[in-house]
Structure 1
Amino acid sequence: MGKFNKTDKHYFRNILTRVSLVVTAVIIIVGFLPRNSGPQFRYDIGKPWMYSSLIAKFDFPIYKTDEAIKGEQDSIIKAFEPYYNYNTAVEKEQIGKFLSKYKEGIPGLPYNYVTTIADRLHRLYQAGIMDTPEYSEISKDTTSTIRIVSGKKATNAEIMCIYSTMTAYEQLFTDQKLAEQRQILQKCNLNEYIQPNLNYDEERSETEKADLLSTIPLASGMVLSGQKIIDRGEIVDDHTYRVLNSFEKETQRRSATVSAIPSTIAGQILFVATLIMLFTTYLGLFRKDYFEKPRSITMLYTMITLFPILVSVMMSHSILNVYVLPFTIAPIFIRVFMDSRTAFISHVTMILICAAAVKYQYEFIIVQLVAGLVAIYSLRELSQRAQLFKTAVLVTIGSSAMYFALQLMQDNNITSMDHSMYKYFIVNGVLLLFAYPMMLIIEKAFGFISNVTLIELSNTSKDLLRQLSEVAPGTFQHSVMVSNLAAEIANKIGAKAQLVRTGAMYHDIGKMKNPAFFTENQVGTNPLDKMPRIEAAQIVISHVTEGLKMAEKFNLPSIIKDFINTHHGSGKTKYFYISYKNEHPDEPVDDSLFTYPGPDPFTREQAILMMADTVEAASRSLPEYTEESISNLVNRLIDQQVSEGYFVYCPITFHDIAVAKQVLTERLKSIYHTRTSYPELAKKNNKTENTPPAKQ
């Protein structure tokens, strides 16, 4: 039996990865999907029934609306008589305290005032005294009554026949005899002897209230098995609407009694698994490189899984409206960090899965697909905040327009249409603006880099680039030139221009360690000329490793570090290598001492940088700048890179390389202002036969 080679292992690893992703995503999504078994219909009051005739398959009650039940509950609560316990000990204690304090009489008044006040207090306590805040709440309705429990007897009492501590104090002075001596009696602080003797009996009151509320019937009528509920084309009125609602509730209740709803779960698993497998198949056929990048796969399946979970939770717990969820954030992120086609396929897959949890599936799918297309079309490249604002506005307009169109198709009467949905589209657009700050989270979590970040990094006032311009001005100017050349090539061949521009700005930052050893920063002699060739080569090579150290120190993204690492590939410092071989013709040469650490470029952008960097540096050494000399230089250097295999591991084509040559030649001609050479006069038989050329 033959052994598996690396290709076989790689193939089976990819298969296992895909199967694991599909299974995990399906389990998570299905675990959150609501278990809505039975038919799901769309219907509204005043609209025609769009489905076939609906016949009841079982007996079920016609449930009242929540508003009707709430009204009956409010009516019962309004008429409810709360229970209060009558405490006889309060009267005895308070009147006893009063008599004890004024047993010698009230100063300035005859003794009979003491007995009069004690009698008035007795009458107040007999009527009943409540705490003032509690009394104020109940007495809002002057017809309210309460039940006073004294021992085992409960009697009804009107609230207006009872006193609060405040009204009881005022009642004392309605007696003319006491009112005449009010100034003297106020010094006695009679309010201290007026305390509540009616205490709310919470347990008995709440039990009684619950018993009364439980008597409210939840249904008003029955539908018998075999009875027609509604026929196609009939208008849904208030009664039919309640019947249809009751039918759906009863269907769900009956389905919930079945063990784990096996048929519903099986259908959901099949539905979700099919969509996830189709999406995975798309990646396997057209985006194989994403399977090689864990961050890409993680983000894609996170997006596809997250929104169905949110929709399921919102539907299961009746939280807000699903249209407030900014579904288009997913295709925006995938478009910015990956590509448009994957963004669209991901959005379609995500929306179709979400549709399994919503009620009005047709409307939801159409509106969200249009919103996703608008987002993808309007945001080809995110580089400014204003672009995201424009996308949010366009998505809101697109969603609203599509919903309005669907309403027109169902009901041509604009005045009777439901306009409440548009506020959800506006909220959706506002939430979509949070995609900008969330982009930083996505970058940090999954290791991506957006154009916004690249633009920020390429700002020459940034710490590292500003330091480069001060410490190594020649290298800085070289980096600027290379970034412009590389970006133009990228634009011509459809590569990522902003990425290669930013990578070019940082590719030589390692030269800040020893700037004087590099020709672009030198004025006069070159210190490398006086050094041994091996040592000189090591100094030149070290600018790559030093650049990586600086990139680590300043937390540059890994994709920028790749430009530093690959801009020389695994090539040699040829000047020192050849010089050393010429000086030591009979000695073996350790090639590694003259070789850059590599690796060779593995993306088109890295290959573009290598070509632009090599050509721009070499162009400075041309003895003269003519169209022919520049063209020869560009062709010779790039052809040499191709022949030495620098571009074997990157997806750049011969057409891309040809375009790069053309761009570099034209740009260098423009930079160095080459002019057309004037022809010399040809002589024949000592006579001039050619006329002088016109001025150019």
Structure 2
Amino acid sequence: MKKIINKLLVNHSLIYKLFLYIATVVLVVYLFPKGGQFKYEFQKGKPWEYENYYAPFDFAIQKTNEEIEIEKQQIKESSKQFYEYDENVVLKVKKSIEEKTAEVLSNSELSEIEILNLNEKIDEIVKDVYEFGYLEASNDHKNNVSVITLRKGNRSQDVEYDKLFESSEILSFINSKIGIQPTTQVENIILNIIYESLMPNVAFDPDFTDRVLQENLNKISYTKGLVSENERIIFKGDIVEGDKLIILNSIKGEFESQVWSKSNYNWIVFGYTILVALAFLMLLLFLKKYRQDIFENNTKITFIFFNIVLVVLLITLIVKYDAEYIYIAPIVILPLVLKAFFDARLGLFSHVLTVLLLGFIVPNSFEFIFLQIIAGIVTILTISELYKRANLFISVIQITFVYFVAYFAFSIIQEGNAQNLDWQKFVYFSINGGATLFVLPLIYVFEKLFGLVSDESLKELSNTNSKLLRELAEKAPGTFQHSLQVANLAEASANEINANSMLVRTGALYHDIGKMLNPMYYTENQSTNVNPHNELTPKDSAQIIINHIINGVELAKKHRLPDRIIDFIRTHHGTTLVYYFYKKEEELSGGDVDIQHFQYPGPIPFSKETAILMMCDSVEAASKSIKEPSAQAFDNLVEKIVNKQMEDGQFMNADITFKELQTIKKVLKKKLKNIYHLRIEYPE
């Protein structure tokens, strides 16, 4: 049992990677759509590249979205508007008018014939007004309809809209019946009674109207024909267009709408699992072979897998809601984030694998994969320094432009012309570009969640007004000036070979912070002729010098500097010797010296940036010892130091080429000549 526990403890990192790998594969397969897949790829306007295709089963031909929308619009335009006729209002109005007019007429001096005639006019007015109805004052539902449907209880009647009375028409109608200018006071009173008593009894019925409209919309048939089993759909070489395209889209939809059944569920899951497992295995093998430091760091691997799953989840949710919006998702954020924390090659590799996985989810997978891979390549090539906001804005504009051009090309290939472009897609691409700008706050969140460091954080760390660098300037001013010079040399060298200049500059500023603990033991901080090494043995002096590496690492961890910066502190001397004290000990002992007491602990540089720092640090420090500066002296110095480091195998793990080393040499020679150039002698 003890042996098993020990093995688990020893291999806990590998066990964690295995668990993460399995969990990620299971999660991604779970997110995949639970439907069938049509095994043929086809595009509008392109030839059918497979054998003659026959219907494997009976299926209905689906109408296109455009056809369905046209039908819906026609139904909406022809749909009836229903109005409710209230009989109770009519009875109430009649009763009110009868009571009021009877009282007026009974007290009048009119004859019975005049009263009879007047009552007939009143009855005729009420009858005419309420024959089809008196409409409510506000009606915003007419929509230019000429005929409406009037509902009286259980009966419905189509009526011309103009036959309904509106409030603006009532007074003129009453006057026309009684007399525009009443000749008697009684008639005037009667007119006012009728006008005040008449009330609207017809109102628009929105609920019933919408219900009828919805019933009509629900009756729309989404199919327009039937294809029988074994019926030929398309010949090999036929152009995919017209009815052939509609039928192929219909059968493709039939396959994709089939939910995994119990009989084929396990096999389909097994197939998806193999493909997804292969994709993530390729990523792990890439990290193992080309990014060993990342592979050994479980936090970084978790971060990479987390981002890939996040993108798959986002696209899955969009496809489930409406696949039309898939191009709104800013997928290029993935390579941007990975490039900010790691490097461009890893960012592009992960992006390509992720897009290939998304091909199982999205419609028109070839178009999607092509567009997204091209966009990812443009993203990697255009954004060199993410911490410069202008670079991000320019890159987003370029990415959006590439989306536009690529989609335009696909459209004219499929449609055969540029007249049927879906302009909505261009809006989606623009939104995509805007959403990509959120990568900066996202990077900040990831830094806090995973404890990683990006170029944006490096920019903050490189501020010489930070607490640790201010302390270095106060306690070891000579070392601080040396670090500034090294940072300038390293940044210039990194720019020439396209390395991460911000990373190497920040590493250079902090590489010697360990000297703060014993600043006077380093010549650049000695302001007097007193050298404390004169009181020590060469072995002890060498140990103090070597300890600035260990002290620097401890100090960096205490101040929570990122591991990427600590790497520069650990590697800037590699496994070289403290040569001055080694030679001094060799003279005193007669040649019998244990080299381990004078050798830095390492490790040797393992990236271009750490290799650049080693060269710049050594060259800058040695340049101070040249008594008579000259171009030839600097050339010889740079060649001697860099060649010696190469011979000692200090750059074996640095992934730096011989050509890049020669380029760095040229930069260092040029910069040293500029630093130590002679000035004219000013007159006294």
TM score, norm. by length of structure 2: 0.70
- Identify unmatched segments of 5+ residues in structure 2: 534-539, 581-600, 680-684
Shift of the 459–404 alpha-carbon distance from structure 1 to 2, 3 Å rule, reads same
CA distance in 2, matches of 1:568, 1:109: 124
Matched, 1:284 2:296: no
CA distance in 2, matches of 1:549, 1:100: 104
Cα deviation 1:90-144 (Å, max 9, x = unaligned):
23445555677788659x999979966686346424532232333x523721233
CA distance in 2, matches of 1:491, 1:242: 55
**Map 1:410-559 → 2, pairs under 5 A:** 428-429=432-433, 431-436=435-440, 438-460=442-464, 476-487=480-491, 496-506=500-510, 557=562, 559=564
Between 78-87 and 13-22, the greater mean CA deviation after superposition: 78-87
Q: Could you tell me which residue of structure 2 aligns to residue 55 of structure 1? A: 54
Q: Alignment identity in percent?
A: 30
The letter of the residue matching 1:284 is K
The partner residue of 2:162 within 160, 163, 175 is 160
Q: Could you tell me which residue of structure 2 aligns to residue 17 of structure 1? A: 16
Deviation at 1:628, TM superposition (A): 8.9
Between 378-387 and 503-512, the greater mean CA deviation after superposition: 503-512
CA distance in 2, matches of 1:615, 1:277: 43
CA distance in 2, matches of 1:669, 1:47: 64
The DSSP-based 3-state class of the residue aligned with 1:141 is coil
Deviation at 1:45, TM superposition (A): 6.3
Q: Could you tell me which residue of structure 2 aligns to residue 245 of structure 1? A: 249
Shift of the 130–316 alpha-carbon distance from structure 1 to 2, 3 Å rule, reads same
**Map 1:250-399 → 2, pairs under 5 A:** 250-254=254-258, 261-382=265-386, 384-396=388-400
Matched, 1:132 2:134: no
Matched, 1:88 2:87: yes
Shift of the 271–105 alpha-carbon distance from structure 1 to 2, 3 Å rule, reads same
The DSSP-based 3-state class of the residue aligned with 1:132 is coil
Deviation at 1:352, TM superposition (A): 1.3
The partner residue of 1:147 within 137, 147, 151 is 151
The DSSP-based 3-state class of the residue aligned with 1:175 is helix
CA distance in 2, matches of 1:211, 1:659: 77
The letter of the residue matching 2:23 is T
CA distance in 2, matches of 1:258, 1:391: 48
CA distance in 2, matches of 1:662, 1:72: 74
Shift of the 268–99 alpha-carbon distance from structure 1 to 2, 3 Å rule, reads same
CA distance in 2, matches of 1:474, 1:451: 27
- Identify unmatched segments of 5+ residues in structure 1: 576-597, 676-696
CA distance in 1, matches of 2:270, 2:4: 37
The letter of the residue matching 1:133 is S
Shift of the 102–360 alpha-carbon distance from structure 1 to 2, 3 Å rule, reads same
Deviation at 1:25, TM superposition (A): 2.0
The letter of the residue matching 2:333 is I
CA distance in 2, matches of 1:44, 1:663: 53
Q: Could you tell me which residue of structure 2 aligns to residue 229 of structure 1? A: 233
* Kept in 1: contact 2:151–2:157 (CA 8 A): yes
* Kept in 2: contact 1:443–1:450 (CA 8 A): yes
Cα deviation 1:649-671 (Å, max 9, x = unaligned):
99799999999999989977875
Deviation at 1:186, TM superposition (A): 12
The letter of the residue matching 2:360 is A
Between 387-396 and 137-146, the greater mean CA deviation after superposition: 387-396
Q: Could you tell me which residue of structure 2 aligns to residue 175 of structure 1? A: 177
* Kept in 2: contact 1:379–1:388 (CA 8 A): yes
The letter of the residue matching 2:133 is G
Shift of the 48–292 alpha-carbon distance from structure 1 to 2, 3 Å rule, reads closer
Deviation at 1:543, TM superposition (A): 13
Deviation at 1:289, TM superposition (A): 1.9
The letter of the residue matching 2:58 is D
The DSSP-based 3-state class of the residue aligned with 1:31 is helix
* Kept in 2: contact 1:33–1:357 (CA 8 A): yes
Shift of the 143–198 alpha-carbon distance from structure 1 to 2, 3 Å rule, reads closer
CA distance in 2, matches of 1:546, 1:46: 66
Cα deviation 1:239-265 (Å, max 9, x = unaligned):
444433333333444556666844433
Deviation at 1:197, TM superposition (A): 2.3
Shift of the 101–31 alpha-carbon distance from structure 1 to 2, 3 Å rule, reads farther
The letter of the residue matching 2:144 is K
Deviation at 1:78, TM superposition (A): 4.7
Between 292-301 and 482-491, the greater mean CA deviation after superposition: 482-491
The letter of the residue matching 1:504 is A
- Equivalent residues, number: 641
The letter of the residue matching 1:120 is I
Shift of the 258–248 alpha-carbon distance from structure 1 to 2, 3 Å rule, reads farther
Deviation at 1:479, TM superposition (A): 3.4
**Map 1:65-104 → 2, pairs under 5 A:** 65-94=64-93
Deviation at 1:353, TM superposition (A): 0.7
The DSSP-based 3-state class of the residue aligned with 1:220 is strand
Cα deviation 1:496-523 (Å, max 9, x = unaligned):
5432322333567799999999987787
The DSSP-based 3-state class of the residue aligned with 1:61 is strand
The DSSP-based 3-state class of the residue aligned with 1:163 is coil
Deviation at 1:229, TM superposition (A): 2.2
CA distance in 2, matches of 1:484, 1:450: 20
Shift of the 184–452 alpha-carbon distance from structure 1 to 2, 3 Å rule, reads farther
Q: Could you tell me which residue of structure 1 aligns to residue 537 of structure 2? A: none
CA distance in 2, matches of 1:635, 1:416: 68
Cα deviation 1:585-630 (Å, max 9, x = unaligned):
xxxxxxxxxxxxx998986667876886688679879999899999
CA distance in 2, matches of 1:451, 1:39: 44
The letter of the residue matching 1:232 is K
Shift of the 195–265 alpha-carbon distance from structure 1 to 2, 3 Å rule, reads farther
Shift of the 352–19 alpha-carbon distance from structure 1 to 2, 3 Å rule, reads same
Matched, 1:30 2:41: no
CA distance in 1, matches of 2:516, 2:261: 74
CA distance in 1, matches of 2:531, 2:46: 89
* Kept in 2: contact 1:634–1:664 (CA 8 A): no
Q: Could you tell me which residue of structure 1 aligns to residue 591 of structure 2? A: none
* Kept in 2: contact 1:482–1:616 (CA 8 A): yes
Shift of the 513–228 alpha-carbon distance from structure 1 to 2, 3 Å rule, reads same
The DSSP-based 3-state class of the residue aligned with 2:152 is strand
The DSSP-based 3-state class of the residue aligned with 1:373 is helix
CA distance in 1, matches of 2:374, 2:195: 73
* Kept in 2: contact 1:42–1:359 (CA 8 A): no
Cα deviation 1:459-489 (Å, max 9, x = unaligned):
4567876797689865643432242355467
The letter of the residue matching 2:179 is K
Between 343-352 and 374-383, the greater mean CA deviation after superposition: 374-383
CA distance in 2, matches of 1:375, 1:270: 30
* Kept in 2: contact 1:54–1:228 (CA 8 A): yes
Deviation at 1:211, TM superposition (A): 4.9
CA distance in 2, matches of 1:208, 1:608: 77
CA distance in 1, matches of 2:19, 2:291: 18
Deviation at 1:392, TM superposition (A): 3.9
The letter of the residue matching 2:134 is I
CA distance in 2, matches of 1:454, 1:66: 51
* Kept in 2: contact 1:508–1:547 (CA 8 A): no
TM score, norm. by length of structure 1: 0.69
Deviation at 1:331, TM superposition (A): 2.6
* Kept in 2: contact 1:631–1:665 (CA 8 A): no
The letter of the residue matching 1:454 is L
CA distance in 2, matches of 1:157, 1:599: 97
CA distance in 2, matches of 1:51, 1:476: 70
Deviation at 1:56, TM superposition (A): 1.8
